Amino acid sequence: MIKKRRYSVIAVLAAVMIAITGCQSRTSSPEPSSSEPSSSSSSSEPEDTRPPYLFVNPLDPAGIIVPGIRPEQVETYDFTGRVTESRTINTDVGAHLFIPDTRIDEPILTSSQYSNGMEGLQAIYDQTYNRLNWRRESTGYGGYGVAYLHNRANINSRAELSPNLVIFGHNTGMPYGQTYNASIPVKDLPDGAMFAQLYKFLDEEFATNHPYLFFSTEKENYIYQIFAVYWTEAYSNPPYWSSGISQSDALKVAQSAQERSQWIYDDVKLQDGDRYLTLSTCTYSITTNLHAAESYRFVVQGRLLPENARLSPTAKITKNPSPKQPQV
């Protein structure tokens, strides 16, 4: 059962000064090939310097608020009980992600095996190579599968949260409910399944009216304020896709994200010590060639708010006139 809380906040009259991949590979046939990520388990590269090969295309606190004219209400959510309930079905569930007015209302898997080699393949595919959902049920060949955290993510407590908490989810490139069909051109569809819903944030009205990401564990609920919506190369330095990076590198990733963002979030100012939530999926906007598409991602990032932060019902955004583009 979801428990809802309402916080009364004040409309902002002055500027608020506020301190915040991807799909698994789609294969062209049900049989693993030599290019499948299972071979990555033998790589000699350290984990925190290489991307998870399974994925080929997946305020300062509270800030300063000036009293306004009319009260607003921002709805928040308690999914701690939902996480506990989901764990009775799959003990690898460790969290829940919710984005209002999208289909992203999903248990998130946290087992380290989901980002690594052959064990990862066996955990997220059935014996006929169909993707499994969080209940370990088949979603069909090229189906929407499951969302899960990078294998170095730490969600033990608020104090221990990874500086860059990364969740990977699928964008199948197909209409909602459609499994892979070679005769249908792949596209980034905001009404598609799983993390294809992130493309809703390219709409200015939607982005303005949806400033937060809601993330819960069994112990606590967290709210992240969105500050970047962007395309990037799959191989970035520092690695945006890793939950094993340092606090300073997480800040560098966030600053780079702002340069790339389609929107400038004027009410968010990044600071040392910030912690971030990074949602990564694949993209077909740069190229629809499935092999070439492995080199790019679409990402939405948010900055962790303090436990009792006052919330604004909207984000203050402007169009970025020259976002940094991925190298093609």
| Residue located via tokens 């939950």 | 243
> What band does 290 get if pLDDT is binned at 50, 70 and 90?
confident
Q: Are 240 and 164 a contacting pair, CB within 8 Å?
A: yes
Q: What is the pLDDT of residue 213?
A: 98
Q: Are 119 and 101 a contacting pair, CB within 8 Å?
A: no
Distances (CA, A) of 266 to 68, 114, 163, 269: 18, 36, 22, 8
Pairwise CA distance, residues 137 & 89, whole Å: 11
Q: What is the pLDDT of residues 138-188, one digit of tens each?
A: 998 888 999 999 989 999 999 999 999 999 999 999 999 998 888 999 999
Highest mean pLDDT among 119-128, 202-211, 231-240: 202-211
- Mean pLDDT check: name the lowest of 25-29, 63-67, 110-114, 268-272: 25-29
Q: What is the pLDDT of residues 9-35, one digit of tens each?
A: 333 333 333 333 445 444 333 333 333
Q: What is the pLDDT of residue 118?
A: 53
Q: Are 253 and 236 a contacting pair, CB within 8 Å?
A: yes
What is the pTM (predicted TM-score) of this model?
A: 0.79
Pairwise CA distance, residues 206 & 136, whole Å: 32
> What band does 327 get if pLDDT is binned at 50, 70 and 90?
confident
Number of DSSP helices (H) and strands (E) in the chain, helices first: 4, 12
